[in-house]
């Protein structure tokens, strides 16, 4: 899934001043198994299952599927669907389509893969996430499930007009597929999986977090990447941000990026580095101490200002500073009340992944998601114009509509898209299950501060410390799930398994930059001044990777996790 993993103890004993959390049940390790028969015989077994329609069972030869240059072992690919129906609301035919990949040599585990965006596609069930996957759940021998969450890509984005499709997308497809996956595993291996994991990034991270809240007894480990667990509010916040950029864009209806060019975003990133890079003890192009940076850096003072209104790529005008500042401080309604988290200052603001989310998404992804899936009542797709919607929407009205219900739409999007009890994970905790959360500091769509605020509340609900069952890893410089000037390649799957099954709680994850020659794909945002294989420890929050004072700035061993 990601790259090399190391579980290292961060900091010295004197740094660990928090009270040691209460010991929890230790779950046993999964035991390996093998496929019972072959893929052809599996097809015959699956035909006896009454609640699915199998469309294909294929044998995938060893090496036919590669990830990061790695040959994936021989496995069975099962394609199927369940709950075929015709909507009484929009007349469309719906089903929950999915695939499972079942290794012939099995590690005894099940991985439920949460996919991203509006779903609608059955992506390859590999259990991969993060930057440039080198290894992933399927490569490690998991049986893996992937689904379209109850609608097709052709039905995007208007599937939200059907109320049941909304609910399937939000949480019900995952709940319905869980027992189906277990039945398929039983047919394939003549026994159930010993351990089950749910993971994904972006909307897939939201799926995982919702599953942790709604299905705490169904999975033993939850891998939660960049979770949009307040997704409807995040979408409204991105509309808000788009409207702020439009204030200073020379072409607001055709190109919001004219509000702040790549060169101007680099001016901001360089200003952040100048104030914050050395706060962790090393001037290395990474801001590890994000919290300290928010105090040290001041937007108005530290970003170079232009004299007058002339823009030459070396400064921001007064109008730009005024329009863009609230994008970082957090979206507010007409009364000035915040409804979504702030976005921290980080050099990743110059990353190549920012424009898609900052300038394109408001009138495309966010506009259609809100109009057809998140608001009640939904808009009609006939004649819908995303640019007009995004630039002219009333933020207060949108906030009311994502909370609204009706006779047809009995659940609001803030009900079906979000975890119902995000800080009450006692059932998960008390049975020995674990949650590993990671989030890029420069994520431009789902704020790392939203996730951090949730984690603080989770800790407060657990006597001030939730680290015995949930840990948060913030990734400096990383954008949305991957990319940015960051070390974004790491193996969180193995870390989570070791925590769940061996009790080895991860204090840090070793992450690698994806420079030239990386088998998982090169990250264009890796600075040329870095070693192509630079490594860093990602620290369990609130600890920070700090330079020890000696050693290479490109080697994780030169850093330690401490307060």
The set of catalytic residues is: 202, 443, 480
Residue 524 has which token pair?
């264009």
| Gap between the Cα atoms of 522 and 366, Å rounded | 28
Instruction: Give the CA angle between residues 134, 139, 145 to the nearest 5°.
Output: 110
Give residue for tokens 């609204």. 404
Q: Give how far Cα 519 sits from Cα of 2, 27, 131, 136, 137, Å.
A: 11, 34, 11, 14, 17
Q: Which residues contact 321 (CB under 8 A, 6 or more apart)?
A: 299, 300, 303, 305
Return the SS3 of 495.
helix
Q: Which residues contact 284 (CB under 8 A, 6 or more apart)?
A: 277, 547, 553
Q: Give how far Cα 364 sits from Cα of 229, 370, 391, Å.
A: 20, 10, 11
Q: Give how far Cα 210 sits from Cα of 82, 114, 350, 358, Å.
A: 21, 11, 31, 26
Contact 408, 447 (CB under 8 A): no
Q: Which residues contact 469 (CB under 8 A, 6 or more apart)?
A: 24, 425, 428, 429, 433, 434, 435
Residue 84 burial by CB count (10 A; 0-12/13-18/19+): exposed, middle or buried? Answer: exposed
Three-state secondary structure of 208-270? HHHHHHHCCCCCCEEEEECCCCCHHHHHHHHHHHHHHHHCCCCECCCEHHHHCCHHHHHHHHH
Contact 199, 223 (CB under 8 A): yes
Contact 423, 454 (CB under 8 A): yes
Closest CA to 51 of 179, 221, 233: 179
Terminal-to-terminal C-alpha distance of the chain: 29
Write the DSSP assignment of 276-331 as a string of letters: HGGGGS--SS----HHHHHHH--HHHHSPBPSTT---SSSB-HHHHHHHHHHHH--
**Partner residues linked to 78 by β-bridges:** 57, 100
The β-bridge relationship of strands 508-512 and 535-539 is antiparallel
**Partner residues linked to 56 by β-bridges:** 79
**Four-residue CA torsion sign, 396, 402, 404, 409:** positive
């Amino acid at each position: 899934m990601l790259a090399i993993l190391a579980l290292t103890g961060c900091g010295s004993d004197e740094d660990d001043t928090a009270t040691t959390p209460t010991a929890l049940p230790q779950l046993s390790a999964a035991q390996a198994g093998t496929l019972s028969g072959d893929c052809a015989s599996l097809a015959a077994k699956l035909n006896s299952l009454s609640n699915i329609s199998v469309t294909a069972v294929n044998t995938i030869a060893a090496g036919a599927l590669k990830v990061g240059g790695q040959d994936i072992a021989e496995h069975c690919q099962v394609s199927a669907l369940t709950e075929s129906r015709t909507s009484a609301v929009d007349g469309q035919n719906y089903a929950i389509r999915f695939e499972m990949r079942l290794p012939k040599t099995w590690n005894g585990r099940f991985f439920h893969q949460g996919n991203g965006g509006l779903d609608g596609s059955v992506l390859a069930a590999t259990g991969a996430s993060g930057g440039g996957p080198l290894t992933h759940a399927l490569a490690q021998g998991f049986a893996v499930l992937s689904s379209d969450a109850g609608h097709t890509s052709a039905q995007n984005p208007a599937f939200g007009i059907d109320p049941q499709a909304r609910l399937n997308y939000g949480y019900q497809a995952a709940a319905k597929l869980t027992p189906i996956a277990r039945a398929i595993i039983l047919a394939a291996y003549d026994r159930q999986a010993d351990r089950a994991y749910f993971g994904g990034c972006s909307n897939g991270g939201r799926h995982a977090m919702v599953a942790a809240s709604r299905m705490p007894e169904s999975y033993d480990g939850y891998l939660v990447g960049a979770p949009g667990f307040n997704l409807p509010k995040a979408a409204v916040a991105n509309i808000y941000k788009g409207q702020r950029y439009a204030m200073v864009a020379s072409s607001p209806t055709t190109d919001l990026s004219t509000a702040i060019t790549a060169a101007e975003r680099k001016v901001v990133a360089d200003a952040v580095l100048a104030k914050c890079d050395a706060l962790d003890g090393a001037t290395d192009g990474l801001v590890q101490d994000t919290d300290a940076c928010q105090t040290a850096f001041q937007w108005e003072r530290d970003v170079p200002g232009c004299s007058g209104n002339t823009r030459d790529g070396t400064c921001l005008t007064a109008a730009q500073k005024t329009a863009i500042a609230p994008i970082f401080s957090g979206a507010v309604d007409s009364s000035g009340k915040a409804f979504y988290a702030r976005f921290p200052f980080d050099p990743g603001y110059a990353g190549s992944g920012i424009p898609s989310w900052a300038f394109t998404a408001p009138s495309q992804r966010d506009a259609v998601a809100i109009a057809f899936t998140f608001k009640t009542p939904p808009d009609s797709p006939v004649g819908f114009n995303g640019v007009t919607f995004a630039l002219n929407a009333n933020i207060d009205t949108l906030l009311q509509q994502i909370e609204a219900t009706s006779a047809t739409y009995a659940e609001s999007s803030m009900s079906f898209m979000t975890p119902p009890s995000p800080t009450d994970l006692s059932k998960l905790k008390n049975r020995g299950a674990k949650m590993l959360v990671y989030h890029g500091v420069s994520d431009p769509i789902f704020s790392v501060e939203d996730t951090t605020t949730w984690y603080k509340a989770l800790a407060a609900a657990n006597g001030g410390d939730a680290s015995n069952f949930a840990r948060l890893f913030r990734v400096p410089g990383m954008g949305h799930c991957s990319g940015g000037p960051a070390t974004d390649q790491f193996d969180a799957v193995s870390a989570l398994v070791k925590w769940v099954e061996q009790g080895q709680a991860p204090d840090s994850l070793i992450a690698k930059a994806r420079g030239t020659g990386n088998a998982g794909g090169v990250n264009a945002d890796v600075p040329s001044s870095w070693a192509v294989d630079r490594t860093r420890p990602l620290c369990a929050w609130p600890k920070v990777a700090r330079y020890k004072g000696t050693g290479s700035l490109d080697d994780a061993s030169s850093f330690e996790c401490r307060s």
